[in-house]
C-alpha cells in the first residue's frame, strides 16, 4: 500500500486544514518547510488577528492574502501601518475593530476595499476629542458597504453621535444588524433603509420609544429573528404598532422595563392577543419583564398569571415569560 505524505495532499485539502488555524499557527507550523507550502500559504486567504502577531518581521519578505481581519487597541499603531503594506486585501470579506480609536478606524477603512466586505464589526470604540465630521465620515463609509456585499453589521453606542438622517441610499445587502446601544429614532431610520433585514439585535436607549414609533410604517417582511431590549415602555399599544411591520417573526427575545401603570403589560391575555394578531409565525419567545412598582403597591405575585394561563402552559418550553418586580424605584412620573 502506498503511503500518502503531507506534502502529497492537494491544494484544496490543505486549505481545508488551514481553515482550522489562525495565521500565526499556520505560519509557525508550515511556512518555510518547502517552496510548495510557502506558495500555498501566500495565496491562502487567512484570518489575521493582529493582536496575536508579536513578530511583525514575518511579513516583511512576503505578501499574504487576508480573508478576515481583527484589529484592536492592543496593537502598536506604528506596526499597524507597516502590516497593512504587507497584507493582500484582494480576498478580504470580514473585519472586526475592537477598542479602537475613531481616528485610527477611519485610517483603516480608507485603505480597505469596503465594497468587498460582507461583515463589519466595531466594538468599544474610543471617540473622545473627535469632531462630529469624523463620526459622519466613518459611518457613511461603513454604511455605504451595505449597497454592495455587506451582510452583517455590528456597531457600538457611538453610532448615536452622528445624524443618521444623512443616509440617502438603501442598504439592500444587509441581513444581520447588532446595535449595542442606540436611540429609538436612530434605529427606526436605519430600519427604513434595510428592506432585506433578517436578524436584528438592539438595545434601545432613552424614553422616546413611543414618540418615534408612532410614525414608523416601514414593512420588514424578511425579519425573522429579533432580540430587543426596551427601556421604560410607556404604552403596550406601541408594541402592536411595531410588530405590524414584521409579521413573519419566528424567533423573539424581548426585554422590557415598564412601570406598574403601563396598561396590560403584565396581563397574559394581552400578550396572547398580540401574538395571535400580529405574530402568527412565532415559534420561539423569551419575554423578560421588569416592572417598577410604587411604594404602596401590594406585593402580590405578578409572575403567577403567566404560570397558570393555559395558553402559556401549552407552549412551554418554546414560549417562556419571566416577570420581575422592582420596589421603591426612582420617580419616573415627570420623565
pLDDT tens per residue across span 271-297: 999 999 999 999 999 999 988 766 555
Contact present, 182 and 161 (Cβ < 8 Å) = no
**DSSP tag of 101:** B
pLDDT digits (tens, 9 = 90+) for 316-333: 999 999 998 876 444 444
pLDDT digits (tens, 9 = 90+) for 152-164: 999 998 887 777 8
Buried b (16+ CB within 10 A) or exposed e, 232-248: bbbbbebbebbbebbbe
Fold (CATH) for 175-330:
3.80.10
Residue spans per domain, the chain: 11-92, 94-151, 175-330
Sign of the alpha-carbon torsion through 127, 164, 145, 45: positive
> What is the torsion angle, in degrees rounded to the nearest 10, for the CA atoms of residue 219, residue 224, residue 228 and residue 230?
40
User: Mean pLDDT, to the nearest integer, of 43-64?
Assistant: 72
SS3 of the chain: helix, strand, coil, percent, to 5: 35, 25, 40
- Mean confidence (pLDDT) of the chain: 83
> What is the torsion angle, in degrees rounded to the nearest 10, for the CA atoms of residue 37, residue 43, residue 47 and residue 50?
90
Q: Per the structure block, which three cell numbers stand in for 144?
A: 455605504
Q: DSSP strand E in 184-264: where?
A: 199-205, 225-230, 251-259
Task: State the pTM of this model.
Answer: 0.84
Contact present, 284 and 251 (Cβ < 8 Å) = yes
Amino acid at each position: 500500500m502506498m503511503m500518502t505524505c503531507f506534502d502529497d495532499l492537494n491544494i484544496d485539502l490543505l486549505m481545508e486544514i488551514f481553515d482550522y488555524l489562525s495565521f500565526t499557527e499556520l505560519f509557525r507550523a508550515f511556512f518555510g518547510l518547502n517552496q510548495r507550502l510557502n506558495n500555498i500559504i501566500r495565496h491562502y486567504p487567512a484570518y489575521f488577528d493582529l493582536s496575536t502577531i508579536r513578530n511583525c518581521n514575518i511579513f516583511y519578505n512576503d505578501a499574504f492574502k487576508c480573508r478576515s481581519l481583527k484589529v484592536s487597541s492592543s496593537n502598536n499603531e506604528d506596526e499597524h501601518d507597516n502590516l497593512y503594506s504587507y497584507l493582500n486585501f484582494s480576498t478580504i470579506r470580514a473585519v472586526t475593530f475592537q477598542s479602537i480609536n475613531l481616528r485610527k478606524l477611519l485610517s483603516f477603512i480608507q485603505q480597505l476595499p469596503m465594497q468587498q466586505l460582507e461583515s463589519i464589526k466595531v466594538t468599544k470604540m474610543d471617540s473622545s476629542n473627535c469632531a462630529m465630521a469624523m463620526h459622519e465620515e466613518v459611518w457613511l463609509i461603513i454604511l455605504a458597504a451595505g449597497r454592495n456585499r455587506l451582510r452583517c453589521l455590528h456597531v457600538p453606542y457611538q453610532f448615536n453621535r452622528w445624524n443618521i438622517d444623512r443616509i440617502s441610499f438603501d442598504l439592500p445587502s444587509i441581513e444581520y444588524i447588532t446595535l449595542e446601544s442606540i436611540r429609538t429614532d436612530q434605529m427606526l431610520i436605519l430600519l427604513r433603509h434595510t428592506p432585506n433585514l433578517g436578524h436584528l439585535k438592539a438595545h434601545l436607549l432613552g424614553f422616546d420609544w413611543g414618540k418615534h414609533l408612532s410614525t414608523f410604517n416601514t414593512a420588514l417582511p424578511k425579519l425573522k429573528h429579533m432580540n430587543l431590549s426596551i427601556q421604560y415602555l410607556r404604552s403596550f399599544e406601541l408594541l402592536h404598532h411595531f410588530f405590524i411591520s414584521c409579521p413573519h417573526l419566528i424567533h423573539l427575545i424581548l426585554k422590557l422595563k415598564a412601570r406598574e401603570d403601563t396598561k396590560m403589560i403584565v396581563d397574559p391575555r394581552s400578550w396572547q392577543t398580540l401574538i395571535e394578531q400580529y405574530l402568527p409565525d412565532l415559534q420561539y419567545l423569551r419575554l423578560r419583564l421588569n416592572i417598577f412598582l410604587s411604594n404602596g403597591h401590594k406585593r402580590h405575585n405578578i409572575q403567577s398569571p403567566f404560570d397558570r394561563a393555559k395558553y402559556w402552559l401549552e407552549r412551554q418550553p418554546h414560549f417562556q415569560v419571566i416577570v420581575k418586580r422592582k420596589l421603591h424605584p426612582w420617580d419616573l412620573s415627570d420623565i
